[in-house]
Amino acid sequence: MATLGAIIGLGLAYAGTAREDFLETLTPIVCEVNHSLEMSALAALSLGLIFVGTRNEDITTMIIETLQERPENQLNMTMARFFGVALGLLFLGKQEACEPTLEILGIMTHPISKFLFSKVC
């Protein structure tokens, strides 16, 4: 539980700073399928907060790839929606730049893609 608090605390404390050192810290947590979905989703949310409005392609790609690698039963969990919120934060105020991401999300077959689609733009 303390780890989850630390992850979300980083996102809140450094929101809008786009600090690259936190990208290096949180990326393994988002990408690693061995981490719980809860931990991965909150790390993605923290990255969305830290890099809000930057359209960071590395984070966007990482989140989409993580969603594609996760088992379908995990994507049914409520916590999986934080990936969509993270994507929405990355594109905040940059609606014109989200078309390629929307095309990729449109390819996903899991029902969460509709939720993600609505949060990105």
**pLDDT tens by residue, 9-41:** 999 999 999 999 999 999 999 999 889 999 999
Q: Residues 53, 93: contact at Cβ < 8 Å?
A: yes
Rounded to whole angstroms, the Cα distance separating 50 from 58 reads 14
CA separation (Å) from 100 to 61, 64, 86, 103? 11, 12, 16, 5
- Please tell me the pTM assigned to this model: 0.86
Place of tokens 């014109």: 96
Residue 69 in tokens? 């690698």
Neighbouring C-beta atoms of residue 22, cutoff 10 Å: 20
Residue 42 is part of which domain span? 2-120
**pLDDT tens by residue, 38-67:** 999 999 999 999 999 998 999 988 998 898
pLDDT at 119 over 70: no
